[in-house]
Amino acid sequence: MVVGSVLILTAGFGEGHNAAAKNILAALRRDHREITADLHDIYAEAHPVLNRICCSGYKLAINRTPRLWKLFYDFLDRAPGASAGVHLLLPARHRLARIHARLKPDVVATTFPGYSPLINTLPRTFRLVTVVTDSLTINSIWLRGGSDFYLVANEPTARQLESAGIPRDQIRATGFPVPEIFSQPDATRTSPPAGGKWRVLYMVNVSPHTAPDTVRALLGIENIELTVTYGRDDSLGRRLLQVSQETGRPLELHGWTKEMPNLIRRSHALVGKAGGATVQECLAAATPLVITQIVPGQEEGNARLVLENGAGDFAETPEAIAEAVRALFADNGKLHAARTAAAKKLGHPAGASDAANFIASLAMGD
């Protein structure tokens, strides 16, 4: 018997928004069959061409012109009316209004801060939950439109919202909504490794031109098994395979894959950028990080969370990255053990379930 409904809103600007939304939806459908739950990316549905252009521009800005992106990010933070014009996108307004009229949601949960102007055009017949996907450095755009509740990844971020004027009783530190698999024990990873090889996962999602040199440097570490994910760039995959052949060292390669949670869980360390979903999944798996890039603005808080709490290191060049990995596993993994313990303290493997449980309780009127 259906007793409540939830509308989840997301957007394709960064991995964290979509990951959080999809994992909350999965938890609601798995654990709360009495709740009807739908997920929509209103901007992609109503403005497909414009949305693709904007998403491509965002990715280009954070990867190619990070300083310019930082200026824009700070502008959004400082300018109260920076996103107000979004409500003038009439197809998006109309689509959201139609979905609202059809679903009659008891709760609207948004994982993207740019929906506030659209949501505020709706009759407020629902509770609004904002799922904040960043840590520590919280742009004011998350808070500007108002919300009944804010779900955050950790207590330090909850305190940041308090300092920004959000009452504590509106904040819940439910954890970042990672996939449910992170709540399951992983018996395949031991430290030190039973087979004598430390598993390292290198995620190539920025600076593909330096990836072959980074792989070459990592393959120079004798006691590791290296896995590399390279997304949809097949030409890069071929270059990385060539490095493996030239060095005579084995390399496990993956293009775009749905197996990222399993790859993270089985790895002793991850090398990659400080993306919101990636960082939180590593913490949920107690997998230390070697951070190779920090996008100014939203990723600065993710990196601070890791580095200030001893859950990882920062290294930019191929040589520095390899040295950071060597240091992790030296002395029979002494530093790795400390980094793992720190990551475990920060992780919240049941984040999606906890967020879904809270949202479901609102939808059922508890």
Cα torsion angle, 205, 206, 209, 211, sign: negative
Query: Do residues 193 and 169 both lie within one domain?
Result: no
- Is pLDDT at 150 greater than 80 in this prediction? yes
Counted domains in the chain: 2
CA triple 310-163-108, angle to 5 deg:
95
In tens, the pLDDT along 308-344 reads 999 999 999 999 999 999 999 999 999 999 999 999 9
Instruction: Tell me which H or E stretch contains 57.
Output: helix 48-64
State the Cα–Cα distance between residues 135 and 298, nearest whole angstrom: 8
| CATH number of the domain bearing residue 201 | 3.40.50.2000
State the Cα–Cα distance between residues 211 and 235, nearest whole angstrom: 12
Give the mean pLDDT of 258-265.
94
Burial class (CB in 10 A: 0-12, 13-18, 19+), 123: exposed
- Is pLDDT at 63 greater than 90 in this prediction? no
- What is the per-residue pLDDT for 81? 64
Query: Do residues 91 and 17 both lie within one domain?
Result: yes
Using pLDDT thresholds of 50, 70 and 90, give the confidence band for residue 53: very high
**Neighbour-count burial for 75-97, b at 16+ CB within 10 Å, e otherwise:** ebbeeeebbeeebebeebbebbe
Query: Do residues 284 and 156 both lie within one domain?
Result: no
Give the mean pLDDT of 93-109.
96
- Is pLDDT at 87 greater than 90 in this prediction? no
Give the mean pLDDT of 109-132.
94
Q: Around 288, how many Cα atoms within 13 Å sit in the side-chain half-sphere?
A: 30
Give the mean pLDDT of 237-253.
94
**CA nearest 40: which of 83, 99, 85?**
99
Query: Do residues 123 and 151 both lie within one domain?
Result: yes
Residue scoring higher pLDDT (300 or 189): 300
Query: Do residues 90 and 113 both lie within one domain?
Result: yes
- Summary mean pLDDT of the chain: 92
In tens, the pLDDT along 157-177 reads 999 999 999 999 999 999 999
Using pLDDT thresholds of 50, 70 and 90, give the confidence band for residue 186: confident
- Is pLDDT at 209 greater than 90 in this prediction? no
- Is pLDDT at 187 greater than 80 in this prediction? no
Using pLDDT thresholds of 50, 70 and 90, give the confidence band for residue 88: low
Query: Do residues 32 and 151 both lie within one domain?
Result: yes
Query: Do residues 222 and 273 both lie within one domain?
Result: yes
Query: Do residues 47 and 165 both lie within one domain?
Result: yes
**CA nearest 30: which of 168, 177, 146?**
177
- What is the per-residue pLDDT for 72? 84
Query: Do residues 335 and 353 both lie within one domain?
Result: no
SS3 content of the chain, % helix, strand, coil (to 5): 50, 15, 35
Give the mean pLDDT of 190-213.
86
Structural domain containing residue 33: 4-178+349-363
In tens, the pLDDT along 272-285 reads 999 989 999 999 99
- Is pLDDT at 82 greater than 80 in this prediction? no
Query: Do residues 101 and 212 both lie within one domain?
Result: no
- Is pLDDT at 86 greater than 90 in this prediction? no
DSSP string, 302-337: HHHHHHHTTSEEE--SHHHHHHHHHHHHHHHHHHHH
Using pLDDT thresholds of 50, 70 and 90, give the confidence band for residue 1: low
Query: Do residues 160 and 261 both lie within one domain?
Result: no
Query: Do residues 206 and 93 both lie within one domain?
Result: no
